[in-house]
Structure 1
Amino acid sequence: MSAQNVTPAPETSKCAADASHSSSSPADEWPSRGVKVYRSLLSIPRTPRFAFGGTIAQFPFPLVGMGMLIGVQHAYGSYGLAGALSAVVALTSAVAGPIIGRLVDNHGQRRVSIPIITIWVLADIAVMVALALRAPIWVLFALSPLLGLYAPFGSMLRARWAVALRGRPQGLNSALSLTSTLEECMWVIGNPLAAFLATSISPLVSLGLAAVLMSVGMWIMLADSTYEPAPQYATRHRSIARQVSRILHRHGDVQDSLVTSPTTDEGDLPTETPQPQPAARQGLWSVAFASMLIIQLAYGAFLSITTLSVVAFSGEQGHQELSGVITACFSAASMIAALTYGAIDWKGELWKRFYIGLIALAVGCSMLVFVHSMWGAAIVMFIAGLAQAPTVVNVNQMIVRMVPSYRFTEGMALCGTMWVVGQSVSSLIGGHLIDAFGAIGGFLTTVGCALAALICAFATFLPIKRAVSGETPANYF
């Protein structure tokens, strides 16, 4: 669905509207490039709170991922089991993600997220206890699905930027780049920190820190509802109430209207000033959106197996404690690229930038099959990482143009779902191949998944191009 068919974002609370209006600047005063772009974004009142709070709330992902991987391998001696547990978490997230996203859109971010995060924190603590006691494997499989139930902070963060930047679409690319930069910074710090804690102290420390950061980030972001999108149910109910009120006024108070109000020249009853009606409900699904979901599946698959393979490769080299540093090279490059990408006022077509980035990322990760040293792995990961954040930003902008705004969180959650499905499949297959053939088995799986992503992308080239060509994010607002 093109951006021209996307309905306007739902109206927010009066507080949000006033804050957005008071902080607005004319479009021609918005900086087009450089660090001033990010300064302008963070100078909007209260945006730093949700920007940094939402990032902190995502910090547990590298901590739990690396902590469980190393913890399970140390306790049970199997990368295959670690991959299987990761697959369970991912598949649960794949099933629950769109449902939670729809609930968030309909009922509000705080009302849905707080109970879900409470369950997640309790499940994380239970997994810590199970690993400490080396509980039967079935206990881990029973607890792992609960770790797949979490609030979509990345989607909620981007939805809040959409509200904060209503009327200033020229800041969208930079806002998404800033979000990706902060998220990559999280991975830069989180991966080596998780590897250090898991190998030098205990995997349980990594999992415990994850529970703390999830709780803190949730409080920072959700305690302020200034830019929280209005729940869709509330918006619909207000619309229905207005329609009922007009009907009652027109039919129930006809006599009063005849006595107290002048008539038109034709003698018709006076009418109210027309009120803007909600745009027609648009469908979520389109060929382009479905195509992006398939690409996301393969994209998530090759990135996930790359991380698992790097951990195994580091172990073969006798430096498993440095596995987090190698993956951090990827995230550091991605963070640098995100800052640079968001500071540039791009004039080229969005679809061209997406394809260039996806090709560079797929080829870069595939080059790991040729490395034979830790230094070589670090260099390849850094080069590949330069394409990561720009590709993620491009995907986010394309989703903004493909889905109706009132189902944005759900659309982003579906993308995340396909991402984690790809992760689960590649972790399951790649984990067993690593057990059987070593790190090279994982790297070959990376090549296969990267090739699948490129085939999917080029097989659906025309629908994607038609959906995003010549459009601007302005239509989203």
Structure 2
Amino acid sequence: MLSSYRQIFAAPGTLAFSSAGLIARLPISMTGIGIVTMLAQLRGSYGIAGAVSAVVALSVAALGPQVSRLVDRYGQRRVALPATGLTVLAAAALLLCAHYGAPDWTLFVCAAGVGMMPSTGSMVRARWAHLYSSEPPRLHTAYSFEAVVDEICFIVGPILSIGLATSVFPEAGVLCSGIFLTVGILLFTAQRRTEPPIHPGAHRAGRSAIHSSGLQVLVLTFVATGAIFGSVEVVTVAFAQEQGHTALASLVLAVYALGSCLAGVVFGTLRLKGSMAGRFLGGNAVMAASMVPLVVVAALVDGTAGLVALGAALFVAGLSISPTLITAMALVERLVPAAQLNEGMTWTTTGLALGVALGSSVAGWVVDGSGAAAGYWVPLAAALFGALTALAGLARLRAGLVAVATADGAAATAAEAAAGSATGGPEA
């Protein structure tokens, strides 16, 4: 198993840019929860805290693809550095406004600026695609590794952010996320030899990558997946609180991420055959089926036993996450032109962020109105929507893959013909 992962790091510089990408990605999971924890302590209002955090999520969703579009056109270093600078300035202003009791509206203005944060995950995957686009097995393993890194970020980040904010000082979590972003991006952009060159068609790309019908299908399913994540988190915390074991919620959710992490490690070693579109549909279907036990456990089992059973159900549910997301990223790499790869990958994470915001909000309403056990119907509904969307869009995904394969074949034929003419082949 480990030999598959050793192979992808054989290329010079791969370990350096992937490690730097891990540091730069931690703020994604630290910033939102850090803002909530900070403002809940400083302002005494979860309403304001949640609203400001939601503005950050919406800002990332709106500005993230545009920043990545600039990355495609001008290169990772030229765009990521100034975008990071603007993000850090906005975060610093948010900390100062929170600390010194500035009016609430200033918090929202500063939060909107945090959305300039560059999508490090997309830039890391673009480097892997540049290195291994001609070697699908290695690219599959590389994408699997990055999915595991994502899970590590979402396990460690919130715990670190909450711990710092509650044990050091309220602003510590957000401050630490800003430091991680700055250090990570500086280290990442310093790796010049692995930075993908600007694609010749980047400056001619008039329309956004989101006009791809196949990418639209992926983004919609990612909204559903994000809604699963956001709602499971909120409902699980509420369920643990109802059982009198609130502190165990983080452990139960960590088990959920652990299942996904382990599945990603194993999935990366497999040599898969068949249609990626079919695997993506299968992954969404399994994800939907895995939500059913959550509803049953929450309804029938109480107390500590209920949390243990819920943890087991979440571990099983997590097994389908990484394989589905890995397949989705591989589909983006095939469906989106190389000149728009960063933007295409960022659109999927944008869908994920929107889904998290939507799922957590709806789950909160259901929990308030009907209790935590009823809340698990929200991730089930979101998962069913994702599976149905994948099914309805299967033809689009397959058509997109066929179109890309045809275009690649035509380009290869043209290149061979040009090479033959240039060298004076037999026909000449």
Normalised to the residue count of structure 2, the TM-score between the two structures is 0.83
Structure 1 distance, partners of 2:149, 2:167, is 26
Pair 1:374 & 2:300 matched: no
Contact 1:196 1:324 in 2 (8 A): no
Structure 1 distance, partners of 2:250, 2:97, is 24
Which secondary structure does the structure 1 equivalent of 2:274 belong to?
coil
Structure 2 distance, partners of 1:148, 1:457, is 29
Pair 1:40 & 2:7 matched: yes
Structure 2 distance, partners of 1:143, 1:315, is 33
> What residue identity is the alignment partner of 1:464?
L
Which secondary structure does the structure 2 equivalent of 1:346 belong to?
coil
Other-structure match for 2:266: 340
Query: In 2 relative to 1, CA 89–50 (structure 1 residues): closer, same or farther, beyond 3 Å?
Result: same
Structure 1 distance, partners of 2:79, 2:117, is 10
> What residue identity is the alignment partner of 2:308?
W
Q: Gaps (5+ residues) in structure 1?
A: 1-33, 238-279
Pair 1:354 & 2:321 matched: no
Other-structure match for 1:310: 236
> How far does residue 426 in structure 1 lie from its aligned partner after superposition?
2.7
Structure 2 distance, partners of 1:356, 1:158, is 23
Q: Percent identity?
A: 30
> What residue identity is the alignment partner of 2:11?
I
Structure 2 distance, partners of 1:193, 1:366, is 31
> What residue identity is the alignment partner of 1:349?
S
Pair 1:451 & 2:418 matched: no
Pair 1:196 & 2:163 matched: yes
RMSD (Å), alpha carbons: 3.1
Q: Gaps (5+ residues) in structure 2?
A: 413-428
Which secondary structure does the structure 1 equivalent of 2:173 belong to?
helix
Contact 1:181 1:339 in 2 (8 A): yes
> How far does residue 327 in structure 1 lie from its aligned partner after superposition?
2.2
How big is each residue's C-alpha offset from its partner over 1:190-238, in whole Å with a ceiling of 9 and x where there is no partner?
233334344555553222221121112112211111121223479769x
Contact 2:161 2:173 in 1 (8 A): yes
Other-structure match for 2:358: 425
> How far does residue 385 in structure 1 lie from its aligned partner after superposition?
1.3
> What residue identity is the alignment partner of 1:452?
F
How big is each residue's C-alpha offset from its partner over 1:346-375, in whole Å with a ceiling of 9 and x where there is no partner?
123322322222222233345434334432
Normalised to the residue count of structure 1, the TM-score between the two structures is 0.75
> In the TM superposition, what are the counterparts of 1:18-57 in structure 2 within 5 Å?
34-57=1-24
Query: In 2 relative to 1, CA 305–203 (structure 1 residues): closer, same or farther, beyond 3 Å?
Result: farther
Contact 1:174 1:343 in 2 (8 A): yes
Query: In 2 relative to 1, CA 201–137 (structure 1 residues): closer, same or farther, beyond 3 Å?
Result: same
> How far does residue 97 in structure 1 lie from its aligned partner after superposition?
1.6
Which 10-residue stretch deviates more, 224-233 or 386-395?
Answer: 224-233
Other-structure match for 2:415: none
Other-structure match for 2:322: 389
> What residue identity is the alignment partner of 1:217?
G
> What residue identity is the alignment partner of 1:343?
T
Structure 2 distance, partners of 1:67, 1:334, is 24
Other-structure match for 2:176: 209
Pair 1:404 & 2:337 matched: yes
> In the TM superposition, what are the counterparts of 1:11-410 in structure 2 within 5 Å?
34-75=1-42, 80-133=47-100, 135-232=102-199, 284=209, 285-365=211-291, 367-369=293-295, 370-371=297-298, 372=302, 373-410=306-343
Which secondary structure does the structure 2 equivalent of 1:226 belong to?
helix
Which 10-residue stretch deviates more, 352-361 or 332-341?
Answer: 352-361
> How far does residue 54 in structure 1 lie from its aligned partner after superposition?
0.8
Contact 1:70 1:203 in 2 (8 A): yes
How big is each residue's C-alpha offset from its partner over 1:243-296, in whole Å with a ceiling of 9 and x where there is no partner?
xxxxxxxxxxxxxxxxxxxxxxxxxxxxxxxxxxxxx99984333222222222
Q: Which has the higher contact order (CA 8 A, sep 6+)?
A: 1
Query: In 2 relative to 1, CA 315–196 (structure 1 residues): closer, same or farther, beyond 3 Å?
Result: farther
> How far does residue 305 in structure 1 lie from its aligned partner after superposition?
2.1
Query: In 2 relative to 1, CA 199–348 (structure 1 residues): closer, same or farther, beyond 3 Å?
Result: farther
Structure 1 distance, partners of 2:267, 2:343, is 26
Query: In 2 relative to 1, CA 387–49 (structure 1 residues): closer, same or farther, beyond 3 Å?
Result: same
> What residue identity is the alignment partner of 1:381?
L
Contact 2:267 2:323 in 1 (8 A): yes
Which secondary structure does the structure 2 equivalent of 1:44 belong to?
coil
> What residue identity is the alignment partner of 2:224?
A
Contact 2:165 2:173 in 1 (8 A): yes
- The structure with the larger Rg is 1
> What residue identity is the alignment partner of 2:92?
I
Structure 2 distance, partners of 1:79, 1:368, is 27
Contact 1:71 1:203 in 2 (8 A): yes
